[in-house]
Amino acid sequence: MNTSGTTALGYSWADLIVGGALLAALAGLLTLITHHAAFAPESGSVSLAWSNLPLDALFSWLRMLAAYVLSLGFAVVYAYQAAFNSRAERYLIPILDVLQSIPILSFLPAVLLLFIALFPGSSLGPNLASVVLIFTSQVWNMVFGLYNGFITIPQDLRETARSLGLTRWQRFRTLELPYAMHGLVWNSMMSWAGGWFFLMAAEMFSLGNKSYQLQGLGTFLQTAANQGNWLAEWLGLATLVAVIVLMDQLVFRPVLAWSEKFKMETVGGEPARSAVLRVVRRSALLAAFSDRVWAPISEWSDRRFRPRARRRPRPAIASGLGLLRTLLVGASVVAAVAVFRDAVHLLSTAWPAWRMVLLATGATLARVAISLAISVGWTVPVGVAVGLNRRLAQKLTPLIQIAASVPATALFPSVVALLLHLEGGLNVSAIVLMVLGTQWYILFNVIAGASAIPEDLKEASRLFHLDGWQKWRTLILPAIYPYLITGLITASGGAWNASIVAEYVSFQGHVHHVFGVGCLISQSALDGHFGLLLLSTASLAATVVLVNRLVWRRLYREAADRYSLQ
């Protein structure tokens, strides 16, 4: 279920234009808002009373849900356009590539200022800002997942729909969405995990000298860590894990089992099962719902979206799509002007700033590389051992899943507390956070790869008495290679994102930071140095996109060509 690696696109000049335009739009928004905003920061004292925990959890969960619904809607519209409108595809996919490499905190000032300007003096502003921040950490891989689903619909299924004369809506309802459903469910699970990861950053933030705290688990955890209240910290953590496990058991397992029916063929592997789903399916309530509510709604929607007899063409501005297009063209013109202005502005930034940003990017790159190396170092032997041993796998998998579901950011304060006093402590703890956040992607993929090694290949290597290193070299490493690469691609994206929270920590009233581009972004976002924020965001995004194109995509293609067992 990786995201960026599977879309096969070459280099394109569109990347440059689009990247520039996005940054310019961000900059434009910033300048626009900062010039007339006068807002009152909302900050209250945070209570660490245990009795607040259920309500905190509920608030956080509702924010996540709102962000997820927003992501879902956005992903469907965006992916549909990208997949079925070839003119739009040329721009939408590069835009997405750039957007997903922009870290959450870079959006913070713009989003926060916008919503506070829209709802001055109300708690709605920061809350909406928080939802949008979570949205930016959830949405991109869902778009990629849906897009990949849409574009891989087999020719014959599409021809069936056309030859039977299904309307566009019916095609979407009966073919396109169902086909992409399984991938969508997987990506939704990943999106929720990503949302939890940034929950703390999205609930408690400051801008300039004003700080905002929203009631929720993220704020609770961060406040507890700041005050050094370890009991509260661990209680908050336990609550968070409980919420995640509940979500997994009551929502994701059943939905995943349900989505099995959207797979084209059941190829190998146990189909996912869920007791909850079985109970729900057998209930009379659901049957009644599907007969009385769902079926009539589908019928109604078919009629509603039936294209009526040809209408007279209306001027472009009068139709919704035409209006949208006009707006987009207008926005691009504004963006182009802003690009030019900001390019001049950025170029006039003193050379030391440039040098610092580039060096910082290099430092973060090194940390990302080290953390990936550490993750590979321990996950490959463990993952292979688990994957090759079915009984061990059955016992360990649920444990690993729970361990993986704990957002590394929630553990981070404890890690910092432990390592802070060592020589180069924050450097080490930054890498530890990156490892904590990303190792699971690699581990899960390695396990999947090792358990997919065909029995006959294993028997052959036993027959030839291949042992130790020889067996690894000839059988195991080639067999897990494509899976390893898939895991690494996702992990690398996660590590870059984690650098934002890993390199700049506010802890027990002190700010600890270590030189890196993530630190620059956090610092400039919180201090309101928008020029520096823009510069470091651009540097980070460009590096991530370049690494994706030059390293991961190549490795992925090579892995798919050469080592895939199909």
Partner 1 sequence: MARATPLPAAGDTLVRLLGVSKTYAQPDGYDIRVLEDITLDFHPGEFVALLGPSGSGKSTLLRIVTGLQEPSYGTVLYRGRPVTGPNLKAAMVFQSFALYPWLTVAQNVELGLAAKGVPAAVRRERTSRLVELIGLDGYEDAFPKELSGGMRQRVGFARALAVEPELLCMDEPFSALDFLTAENLRSELLDLWLDQKIPTQSILMVTHGIEEAVFMADRIVILSKNPARVVADLSVPLPHPRNRKAPEFTQLVDQVYKVVTGWDETPEARQEEARAEAAGERPRLKPLPSGHLSMLTGLLELVADRGGRDDLYRLGSELLLEVDDLLPVTDTAELFHLAEVQEGDLILTDLGRQFCEAENPERHAIIHAELMHIPIFRLILRVLDSKANRSMVKEFFNDILEEHFSVNDAEAQLRTAIYWGRYADLFHYDPDTETLYLPEPDPEDEASSAPG
| Interaction site with partner 1 (CB under 8 A) | 154, 156-157, 159-160, 162-167, 170, 174-175, 178, 181, 261-266, 295, 299, 302-303, 306, 562
The DSSP annotation for 43-69 comes to --PPP--GGGHHHHHHHHHHHHHHHHH
Residue 423 CB coordination number (10 Å): 6
Using the minimum distance from each CB to partner 1, give the nearer residue, 220 or 556. Answer: 556
In degrees and rounded to multiples of 5, residue 479 shows phi and psi of -70, -35
Using the minimum distance from each CB to partner 1, give the nearer residue, 181 or 434. Answer: 181
CA dist 183 to 9, 254, 256, 436, 509, Å? 20, 15, 10, 25, 43
Task: For strands 510-513 and 204-207, give the pairing.
Answer: unpaired
Residue 400: exposed, middle, or buried by beta-carbon count in 10 A (0-12, 13-18, 19+)? Answer: middle
DSSP one-letter code for 454? -
Q: What's the distance, Cα to Cα, between the start and end of the chain in Å?
A: 18
Smallest separation, CB 261 to partner 1 (Å): 5
Using the minimum distance from each CB to partner 1, give the nearer residue, 89 or 260. Answer: 260
Token pair 């991530």 is found at 544
Beta carbons within 8 Å of 97's beta carbon, 6+ residues apart? 4, 9, 15, 545, 548
Beta strands in 123-176 (DSSP E): none
Smallest separation, CB 299 to partner 1 (Å): 6
Smallest separation, CB 260 to partner 1 (Å): 10
Smallest separation, CB 357 to partner 1 (Å): 38
Smallest separation, CB 566 to partner 1 (Å): 17
Using the minimum distance from each CB to partner 1, give the nearer residue, 120 or 154. Answer: 154
Smallest separation, CB 313 to partner 1 (Å): 18
CA neighbor of 409 nearest in space, from 249, 244, 526: 244
CA atoms in the 13 A half-sphere facing the CB of 8: 8
Smallest separation, CB 39 to partner 1 (Å): 49
Using the minimum distance from each CB to partner 1, give the nearer residue, 42 or 89. Answer: 89
DSSP one-letter code for 508? T
Which two structure tokens, joined as six digits, stand for 284?
Answer: 């009379």
Give the type of residue at 36. Answer: H
Q: How far apart are CA 495 and CA 367, in angstroms?
A: 9
Smallest separation, CB 161 to partner 1 (Å): 8
Using the minimum distance from each CB to partner 1, give the nearer residue, 175 or 551. Answer: 175
Phi-psi region of 424 (alpha: psi -120 to 50; beta: other; left: phi over 0): left
Q: What Rg do the C-alpha atoms of the chain give, in angstroms?
A: 25
CA neighbor of 158 nearest in space, from 181, 179, 183: 179
Q: How far apart are CA 220 and CA 213, in angstroms?
A: 9
Token pair 């996919």 is found at 93
Which two structure tokens, joined as six digits, stand for 411?
Answer: 């553990």
Using the minimum distance from each CB to partner 1, give the nearer residue, 97 or 176. Answer: 176
Residue 261: exposed, middle, or buried by beta-carbon count in 10 A (0-12, 13-18, 19+)? Answer: exposed
Smallest separation, CB 76 to partner 1 (Å): 17
Using the minimum distance from each CB to partner 1, give the nearer residue, 163 or 348. Answer: 163
Smallest separation, CB 371 to partner 1 (Å): 30
Smallest separation, CB 256 to partner 1 (Å): 15
Using the minimum distance from each CB to partner 1, give the nearer residue, 295 or 328. Answer: 295
Using the minimum distance from each CB to partner 1, give the nearer residue, 299 or 459. Answer: 299
Using the minimum distance from each CB to partner 1, give the nearer residue, 174 or 211. Answer: 174
Which two structure tokens, joined as six digits, stand for 139?
Answer: 């949405």
Question: Does residue 102 contact residue 529 with C-beta atoms inside 8 Å?
Answer: no
Smallest separation, CB 277 to partner 1 (Å): 15
Smallest separation, CB 166 to partner 1 (Å): 5
Residue 356: exposed, middle, or buried by beta-carbon count in 10 A (0-12, 13-18, 19+)? Answer: middle
Degrees to nearest 5, angle at CA 111 with 52 and 547: 105
Using the minimum distance from each CB to partner 1, give the nearer residue, 84 or 262. Answer: 262
Using the minimum distance from each CB to partner 1, give the nearer residue, 265 or 423. Answer: 265
Give the type of residue at 470. Answer: Q
